Homo-oligomer: A and B are copies of this chain.
Amino acid sequence: MPNGTGADTPAMSIIGYDPAGAWEYPAAGAAELLEHRNPAGNTWIDIPTLDHDAVSALAAEYRIHPLTVEDILDPDQRPKAEEFDDYLFITLKAVHRETGYEQISIILKEDTLITFQEKPGNNFDGIRKRIMNNAGRIRRFGTDYLAYALMDAVVDGYFFALDSLSDTIEALENRASDDTDSRLMTDIQKTKQTLMRLRRSVWPLRDSISRLIHSDSPLLHEELAPFFQDLQGNIVQAAETIESHRELIAGIIEVNLSSISNRMNRIMKVLTIISTIFIPLTFIAGVYGMNFTHMPELGYAYSYPVIWGVMILTAAGMIYFFKRRRWI
């Protein structure tokens, strides 16, 4: 068996397996790959980047429709599943913690499955190992089970992303009633956009997988129906979690706006009370600061303490008024 390619060159690979055994062959190009096809058993060809030449070569070899080729090469393609004469085409978005979103396209034929990934990365290493080590059911079934396993791994990625979003939302919730947090709204909107990005990956998938299940394609064998229904159930659960996260975010916004408004109320109250108490007192002091020659009160011996009494009573009266109205 030949050596694999270097560590930082993403290698194309071809894997052959049947219940009895499995082998893997990393190749530098499509021609090399095709030479090593499996005469019997199942074949999985994995193209880890959007290599135009490799896509063309495989498309020619496996008679893939030109529109499918266009969809594979367009990284903005909306998730969908389509049935062609002798293959199923599924394209969906995988999400990774480090590398973000990536488009995965799957061509499912009777004995062959081809995956095209947008960005290099070891997305499917787990599945590769399960094949090589004969773990679980994977070698007992055909390429349709492999397609299920790949999509299940992608959907698991959605749940990882949703869990991480849950934490972010919980952190936002704790900040929601902090009425001085002026960056909160921007952070909320960022989280909302991350959520909506995920939603655009999950929602179209929901419909297309549902249509796939009900398509009665001979490429999806009867015995796998429970697996695909389970996958569909998981996608629905992801979609519902997304909607429930949206509700939470809307609630955070409501609580925050209400907190800020309450805070303003408290500040305004203090201003009102202090100003309203001192402005009349200042007026009284101003009156007796006037310089009229004939102001008899100015000469009385007890005027000054009496005026202090008037001012204290005025202030006390206003405080009583505010207390009675429960403004303090």
**Copies of this polypeptide in the complex:** 5
- Whether A261 lies near B260 (C-beta < 8 A) is yes
Q: Which 4 A-B pairs have the closest CB atoms?
A: A285-B286, A288-B290, A185-B258, A289-B289
A278-B279, A292-B298 known; A230 vs B67 contact (CB < 8 Å): yes
Other-chain residue from B192, B289, B294, B297 in contact with A286 (beta carbon distance below 8 A): B289
Chain B residues closer than 8 Å to A200, beta-carbon distance: 240, 244
Chain B residues closer than 8 Å to A326, beta-carbon distance: 180
| Tally of contact residues, A, Cβ under 8 A | 82
A82 to B303, CA, bound (A): 90
A288 to B52, CA, bound (A): 85
Interface residues of A in 70-128 (CB under 8 A from B): 70-71, 78, 80, 82, 84
Q: Nearest-CB distance from A249 to chain B (Å)?
A: 10
Q: Nearest-CB distance from A141 to chain B (Å)?
A: 12
Asked whether A226 is an interface residue with its Cβ less than 8 Å from the other chain, the reply is yes
Most buried by B among A227, A278, A297: A278
Other-chain residue from B186, B262, B271, B292 in contact with A288 (beta carbon distance below 8 A): B292
- Whether A271 lies near B281 (C-beta < 8 A) is no
A78 to B238, CA, bound (A): 10
Chain B residues closer than 8 Å to A278, beta-carbon distance: 279-280, 282-283
Chain B residues closer than 8 Å to A295, beta-carbon distance: 291, 304
Q: Nearest-CB distance from A163 to chain B (Å)?
A: 10
A267-B268, A270-B276, A279-B275 known; A291 vs B294 contact (CB < 8 Å): no
Chain B residues closer than 8 Å to A304, beta-carbon distance: 290, 292, 294-295
Chain B residues closer than 8 Å to A227, beta-carbon distance: 67
Chain B residues closer than 8 Å to A248, beta-carbon distance: 193
